[in-house]
Chain A
Amino acid sequence: MNASEDHIAAGAPLLDIRGLSLAFGGLKAVNEFSLALRPNALQGLIGPNGAGKTTVFNLITGVYRPDAGSILLAGRRLNGLKPHLIAEAGVARTFQNIRLFGDLSVFDNVCVACHLRTGRTPAAMTLAAPREDAPRHIAFRAARTGAHALLHMALTAHDLATVLLRTRRHLGEERAIRERALHLLSMFHLDHRKDELARNLPYGDQRRLEIARALATNPRVLLLDEPAAGMNTQEKRDLAGLIRRLRDEFRLTLLLIDHDVGLIMDICERITVLDYGQVIACGQPSEVQNDPKVIEAYLGEPMPHAE
Chain B
Amino acid sequence: MDGLSVGSLYALIALGYTMVYGVLQFINFAHGDIVMIGAWLSFWICARLGWAGNDAPPSLARAAATLLFAMVVCGTLGFLIERLAYRPLRSAPRLNILITAIGMSLLLENVGQLPIVFGTENQGMPGLLPKETLLSVAGVNITLIDVLIIGCSIALMAGLNHLVYSTRLGLAMRAASFDTKTASLMGVNINRTISLAFVIGAMLAAAAGFLYAVKYTNLNQPAFPTWILLGLTAFVAAVVGGIGNIRGAMIGGVLIGLLEKFGTAYVSSSFKEVYVFSILILVLLFKPTGILGSARVEKV
A residues near B, CB below 8 A? 61-63, 82-84, 87-88, 92-93, 95, 99, 101-104, 108-109, 111-113, 115-116, 118, 125, 149, 152-153, 155-157, 159-160, 163-164, 173-174, 177, 213-214, 216-217
Q: Is the CB of A87 within 8 A of B168?
A: no
B96 interface hit (Cβ, 8 Å): no
Residues of A within 8 A of B191 (CB): 152
Q: By CB atoms of chain A within 10 A, which of B178, B181, B199 has the most? A: B178
Shortest Cβ gap from A174 to chain B (Å): 6
Q: Which of B120-128, B182-190, B259-267 contacts A (4 or more CB under 8 A)?
A: B182-190
CA distance A65 to B60 in the complex (A): 55
Shortest Cβ gap from A302 to chain B (Å): 40
CA distance A216 to B171 in the complex (A): 15
B residues near A, CB below 8 A? 76, 79, 83, 159, 163, 167-169, 171-172, 174-175, 178-179, 181-192, 195-196, 199-200
Q: Is the CB of A112 within 8 A of B181?
A: no
Which of B79, B178, B195 contacts A103, CB < 8 Å?
B178
Query: Known interface pairs A103-B174, A104-B174. Does A159 touch B187 (Cβ–Cβ under 8 Å)?
Result: no
Q: Is the CB of B168 within 8 A of A156?
A: no
Which of A93, A156, A214 contacts B192, CB < 8 Å?
A156
Return 7 A-B CB contacts under 8 Å, by A number: A103-B174, A115-B168, A115-B171, A155-B192, A156-B192, A160-B200, A164-B163
Residues of B within 8 A of A214 (CB): 186
Q: Is the CB of A87 within 8 A of B167?
A: no
Q: Is the CB of A104 within 8 A of B192?
A: no
Q: Is the CB of A82 within 8 A of B169?
A: no
Query: Known interface pairs A84-B187, A156-B79, A174-B167. Does A101 touch B179 (Cβ–Cβ under 8 Å)?
Result: yes
Shortest Cβ gap from A31 to chain B (Å): 24
Sample of 13 more A-B contacts, CB < 8 Å, known A88-B187, A153-B79, A156-B192: A61-B185, A82-B184, A92-B186, A101-B178, A101-B183, A104-B178, A108-B175, A112-B186, A115-B168, A118-B168, A153-B83, A156-B199, A160-B196
Residues of B within 8 A of A103 (CB): 174, 178
Shortest Cβ gap from A304 to chain B (Å): 44
Q: Is the CB of B169 within 8 A of A99?
A: no
Shortest Cβ gap from B83 to chain A (Å): 6
CA distance A160 to B200 in the complex (A): 9
CA distance A92 to B76 in the complex (A): 34
Residues of B within 8 A of A156 (CB): 79, 192, 195-196, 199
Query: Known interface pairs A61-B185, A93-B185, A156-B199. Does A174 touch B169 (Cβ–Cβ under 8 Å)?
Result: no
CA distance A20 to B191 in the complex (A): 27
Q: Is the CB of B183 within 8 A of A159?
A: no
Chain A residues touching B, majority SS? helix
Residues of A within 8 A of B188 (CB): 84, 112, 115
Query: Known interface pairs A99-B182, A160-B199. Does A149 touch B174 (Cβ–Cβ under 8 Å)?
Result: no
Q: Is the CB of B181 within 8 A of A111?
A: no
Residues of B within 8 A of A63 (CB): 181, 185
Which 6 pairs show the lowest CB-CB distances between chains A and B?
Answer: A87-B187, A116-B187, A83-B184, A113-B186, A112-B175, A99-B182
Q: Nearest chain-B residue to A115 (Cβ)?
A: B168
Q: Is the CB of B172 within 8 A of A115?
A: yes
CA distance A256 to B171 in the complex (A): 29
CA distance A150 to B181 in the complex (A): 25
Residues of A within 8 A of B169 (CB): 159-160, 163
Q: Nearest chain-A residue to B83 (Cβ)?
A: A149
Residues of B within 8 A of A174 (CB): 167-168
Q: By CB atoms of chain A within 10 A, which of B163, B189, B196 has the most? A: B189
Shortest Cβ gap from B76 to chain A (Å): 8
Residues of A within 8 A of B79 (CB): 153, 156
CA distance A115 to B181 in the complex (A): 16
Query: Known interface pairs A159-B169, A163-B167. Does A87 touch B178 (Cβ–Cβ under 8 Å)?
Result: no
Q: By CB atoms of chain B within 10 A, which of A101, A104, A177, A213 has the most? A: A101
CA distance A27 to B195 in the complex (A): 36
Q: Nearest chain-B residue to A198 (Cβ)?
A: B178
Shortest Cβ gap from B104 to chain A (Å): 17
CA distance A104 to B172 in the complex (A): 11
CA distance A51 to B169 in the complex (A): 39
Q: Is the CB of A217 within 8 A of B174?
A: no
Residues of B within 8 A of A217 (CB): 186-187
Q: Is the CB of A115 within 8 A of B174?
A: no
Query: Known interface pairs A108-B174, A111-B168, A217-B187. Does A163 touch B182 (Cβ–Cβ under 8 Å)?
Result: no
Residues of B within 8 A of A104 (CB): 171, 174-175, 178
CA distance A215 to B83 in the complex (A): 32
Shortest Cβ gap from B77 to chain A (Å): 12
Q: Nearest chain-B residue to A159 (Cβ)?
A: B169
Residues of A within 8 A of B76 (CB): 153
CA distance A136 to B174 in the complex (A): 37
Residues of B within 8 A of A102 (CB): 178
Residues of B within 8 A of A101 (CB): 174-175, 178-179, 182-183
Shortest Cβ gap from A123 to chain B (Å): 14
Residues of A within 8 A of B182 (CB): 95, 99, 101
